[in-house]
Structure 1
């Protein structure tokens, strides 16, 4: 989790994964992410850490997830600031988030980035293109209006459910996929 607005996306993912038997979660949150967590959700870092199986410090470059020998299904950066996107796009592993993302990309595992800043400038777009060219998936959390959701919770669940579905997480009942007309 980084300093972009949308802390609820990371929190909701951890809540869903917490009840999944076959999934182990590793959390890394930036300092700006902690500020957003407090501001947006009135939540403390310690409360967030309780939702994860393992919580790592942002500067713990020796953490298990900083090595390709540590097997994972992938990584989700939710929300992702443009600063973190730029670090990932340019292989600038200056903290554990960007280092772990670099490892995921070099090991050809799934990286999903949920950018939450608009409007976009050309540098943002080029950084998204760069991450995509390296095999990452850019997934801005945008609601699907065909579901006719009338609540913020339903819209958040839809984005979170679609991302977790990419990893094979059981998201039954979280959202309704498009089935055609």
Structure 2
């Protein structure tokens, strides 16, 4: 599977990092990573990871301004695009067809080619514009998986919370996994 992973400037870059860590150990998955400039900033603010460490988790990396990258074309076959976390700016761009960055263009390609698109919007509280943008994308078949912790699994650590979110993303990608604790 060729999977594009976009990490944008919303708080919660660790979700994207954990997804990359999990996908790295799945032999049939090749990852293509794009990070916005504020994702890079948030990684430094919110985590102990260096940008080099994060880049090293992906098979291929691209500059968010690189609109000529192969993942910006529908003729380059990908199986899915996951944007985690997805900022409200990126959500609005995708919802309105504004392809001014490689992340939003990769999402647009997924939509136009009827490929799997998963977004993990990270914002609270949500206003009507956010909800309308999500509804528009949901009606187009986009899977919306906001990082909302479950408590039936009795999380004890931040890793438990992160793993549950990544489990849900992997489930949606069709990747068999036992990353998180499931409902019994």
- After TM superposition, the score normalised by the length of structure 2 is 0.94
Aligned residues: 178
Structure 2 match to 1:17: 23
Per-residue deviation, 1:162: 1.1
Q: Which runs of 4+ in 1 moved over 4 A?
A: none
Q: How does 1:24-173 map to 2 (within 5 A)?
A: 24-172=30-178
Distance 1:139 1:16 in 2: 17
Greater strand share, 1 or 2? 2
SS of the equivalent of 1:25 reads: strand
> What CA RMSD, in Å, does the superposition of the two structures yield over aligned residues?
1.0
SS of the equivalent of 1:108 reads: coil
Distance 1:6 1:160 in 2: 12
Distance 1:119 1:65 in 2: 32
Distance 1:164 1:6 in 2: 17
- After TM superposition, the score normalised by the length of structure 1 is 0.95
Q: Does 1:177 align with 2:174?
A: no
